[in-house]
A = this chain, B = another copy of it.
Amino acid sequence: VSATKPRALRIGELAEMTSTTPRTIRYYEEIGLLPGAVDRVQGKHRNYTDADVERVKEIVRLRDLLGLSLEGLSKLLEAEAARAELRREYHSTEDPGIRRTILEQATEHIATQLGLVRSRQRELEQLEGELVERRRTVRRRLAELD
């Protein structure tokens, strides 16, 4: 009935769009990191949406960049789900006290993630500095040859 039926994705497409594999997607479903594909009969194909693409991209990014275990990641994503729940609550109330509490929790959650990101950045900067230093030495020696 709808003129613009949202295109459903198959597992291989989802995998390719997120630089993973079908096996990885199924595994994440198995351990509860990804909700099972909607409206699915056991044994039939899994269908995904754009929201799933975003979810998997987020998982992959946190996994690779922050080096968290999937369990640690799971906790972080649970907190994120709790935040989404709060966001719904936020929009269904006008009470400024409740709104403030929700926003403050969001602030805390973001601060945690930023802390992880920045500590990684510092480590990378140190490594970068050492490499640049080595390069400088090599370049100086090259110049001395002339």
A residues lining the B interface (CB < 8 Å)? 61, 64-65, 67, 96, 99-100, 103-104, 106-107, 110-111, 113-114, 117-118, 120-121, 123-125, 127-128, 131-132, 134-135, 138-139, 141-142, 145
Main DSSP-derived SS at the A contact region: helix
* 12 CB < 8 A contacts A-B: A64-B67, A64-B123, A65-B120, A65-B127, A103-B138, A103-B141, A107-B138, A107-B139, A114-B132, A117-B124, A121-B121, A121-B128
B67 near A123 with CB under 8 A, answer no
Chain copies in complex = 2
Q: How far is the CA of A118 from the CA of B59 in the complex (A)?
A: 21
> Which residues in B have their C-beta under 8 angstroms from that of A125?
121
- Please give me the 3 A-B residue pairs with the lowest Cβ-Cβ distance, nearest first: A110-B135, A106-B138, A103-B142
